Amino acid sequence: MTALIAAGVRLMTPISYVSLGEVVAERAGMLNIGLEGVMLMTAFAAALTAGATGSAVAGLLVAMLLGAVLMAVIAVVELLFDADHIVVGIGVNLIGLGATTVLFSDLTDRVRLTPSFGRIELPGLADIAGIGQALFNHSVTTYLLIPVTGAIAFVMARTRWGLRARAVGETPAAVDAAGVSVVAVRLQAMTLCGALVGFGGAALSIGQLTGFSENTTDGRGFLALAAVIIGRWSALGSVGATFLLGLALAVTVQAPTWAWAPDIPSSLLLLFPYALALVFLSAQRGATDPPAALAIPFMRRR
């Protein structure tokens, strides 16, 4: 059980950062179906930069910058040209997969094995019986998830900008009437979302792994999207949902070693996290409503 929880915490970390970013974006009315593609591109950028500079920190910073830029571009396309959020998201996912596949084939030696954030065993805490190794022997990206989650929850609930972002996601016309630019707030929310998605991409390729491999995200962006809904569009709720999904991913990795489950087909194991996400989403139906203006274009009255 300790090994399962440890693996679950490790596997949830990249998904958690992406889900936190999506909470910010969706609260402001912006739906990102393209999380998978942006996460994939930033994971590649993190590994490439870490390999080129010898610094995992540099890889993380470049991934966050790239994520912010990509999401800002997506926001401009959607906000200024009224592009459909779902169509844009699907396009981003296809571009992300195609671009990283081509680049990986050309730069395999530079991104496969790169500097990464190693595990840090917290003195004293790691020795606690039962949960020590499960919770206190992880990379710095996992430990940073706690303050980042707290910061996002605080910003969205207690700051003026957070309240404006939430208002933009609910009643953009009222916000516009009060003299606040809906486009500016949504652009800012998408940029912050992109930085967090970039953090998640880096946490995967150079935090959880030691480099990039083809299609390394393997659907984690979609799991992050599901976690936002399961967590009812809250920072704490979405991270809690990613923990459950992280445990499900851990099961797919460890089940073949369990004495009672060696003959379970690998294809079924790979489907388990996504099937579980569908079950959670079905259970959530009707329990809470998304932001009222989510994915609805805002046309300013003249």
**Mean pLDDT across 119-148:** 90
> Global pTM?
0.95
Q: What is the pLDDT of residue 256?
A: 65
- Asked whether the predicted pLDDT for residue 178 surpasses 70, the reply is yes
Report the pLDDT value the prediction gives residue 257, as an integer from 0 to 100: 67
120: β partners: 138
Per-residue confidence (pLDDT) for residue 301, from 0 to 100? 57
Higher pLDDT, 284 or 262: 284
pLDDT value at position 2?
Answer: 82
Residue of 270 and 94 predicted with greater confidence: 94
Q: What is the DSSP string of 118-161?
A: -EEEPTTGGGSTTTHHHHSEEEHHHHHHHHHHHHHHHHHHHSHH
Per-residue model confidence as pLDDT tens digits over 21-67: 999 999 999 999 999 999 999 999 999 999 999 999 999 999 999 99
Alpha-carbon gap, residue 32 to 16, rounded angstroms: 15
Q: Residue 295: what pLDDT?
A: 92
Q: Tell me the two tokens of residue 123.
A: 């003195």
Q: Domains plus CATH for the chain?
A: 2-284 (1.10.3470)
Which pLDDT does position 193 carry in this prediction?
A: 98
Directed axis angle between helix 56-80 and helix 35-53, to 10°?
150
Q: Are 242 and 10 in contact (CB under 8 A)?
A: no
pLDDT-derived band at 261, boundaries 50, 70, 90: low
Percent of the chain with pLDDT over 70: 95
Would the pLDDT of 91 be above 70? yes
Residues 21-54 as b/e (b if ≥16 CB within 10 A, e otherwise) read bbbbbbbbbbbbbbbbbbbbbbbbbbbbbbbeee
Distance CA(286)–CA(275), nearest Å, equals: 19
